[in-house]
Amino acid sequence: MRKLKKLDEHLKKIDFDIYLEITKVGINVTGNPSDKYTGNHRIVEFGFKEQSTRLIKSNESFSVISFGL
C-alpha cells in the first residue's frame, strides 16, 4: 500500500500533453478483377485525412480529444 501511495503521489505531479496529427492514411481492397460482380468495385475502404488526437494530463484530470470529440 505504501508503494502504491507513493506512486500515486508521483503521478499527480506529472503533467503532459501529447499531440498526434494524421495527415493521410488509407487502405483500399478491391475484389477479383475477373469476377463480374465484384471486379472494379471497392469492397473495403478505410482512412483518416487531417485528423488529430490529443492526450492531456493536468493535475488529477486526464482528457482525450480525438477526431473532434
Give per-residue pLDDT as tens, 16-47: 888 888 887 777 666 666 666 655 555 666 67
Domain that holds residue 30: 2-66
Give per-residue pLDDT as tens, 58-68: 877 888 888 76
What CA–CA distances, in Å, run from 8 to 3, 11, 14, 40? 9, 5, 10, 56
Q: Measured on CA atoms in the order 4, 14, 20, 66, is the torsion positive or negative? A: positive
Contact 63/18 with Cβ under 8 angstroms? Answer: no
Q: How many domains does the chain have?
A: 1
User: Is the pLDDT assigned to residue 5 strictly greater than 60?
Assistant: yes
